[in-house]
Amino acid sequence: MSENPTPSPEPTRPGGPEADADTRPDATPPATNSATNSATTGTPTKDPLRGSRTSGIWTAVVGFGLVLLLLVIFIAQNTQSVSVSFLGWSGTAPLAVALLIATAAGLFLAAVAGSLRILQLRRRVRRDARR
């Protein structure tokens, strides 16, 4: 029985054979798809799977549906009445309702603070643009 000698590996430069292919002056670039070519050549190609307004709306509807489902579960599990006091007013309300009102008030205050900051930055940009 004769043994087949294993071929010795070809010597390569540091970085492996992939680095050799990219650094040789006579190397041709590997075949690429049209999306890669459009990115490198600057010619746009239409992506058939790109996002659209309809897909964005669909994603939002699904997201809001999940939030609504979680909200219904939260309300169903927190129906016990609690005593609520605020600025001299007091009363009783279901725990879920009290927490949801507090959350809505917090979101409202954050939105007001954020809107004021956005207006402040827009004024500053307009002022700097006039100079």
Instruction: Give 10-residue mean pLDDT values along the chain (131 residues).
Output: 58 53 54 54 67 81 89 86 87 87 90 93 90 81
The pLDDT value recorded for residue 108 is 92
In a domain, residue 19? The reply is: no
| pTM for the full predicted model | 0.46
3-class SS of residue 48: coil
In a domain, residue 85? The reply is: yes
In a domain, residue 86? The reply is: yes
In a domain, residue 66? The reply is: yes
Q: What is the span of the domain harbouring residue 122?
A: 53-130
The pLDDT value recorded for residue 14 is 56
Q: Please state, in angstroms and rounded to a whole number, the distance separating the CA atoms of residues 79 and 82.
A: 9
In a domain, residue 125? The reply is: yes
The pLDDT value recorded for residue 77 is 86
In a domain, residue 108? The reply is: yes
In a domain, residue 47? The reply is: no
Look at the chain and count its residues. Answer: 131
H helix runs in the chain, sequence order = 16-23, 34-41, 53-77, 95-130
**For the chain, how many structural domains are there in total?**
1
In a domain, residue 119? The reply is: yes
The pLDDT value recorded for residue 52 is 79
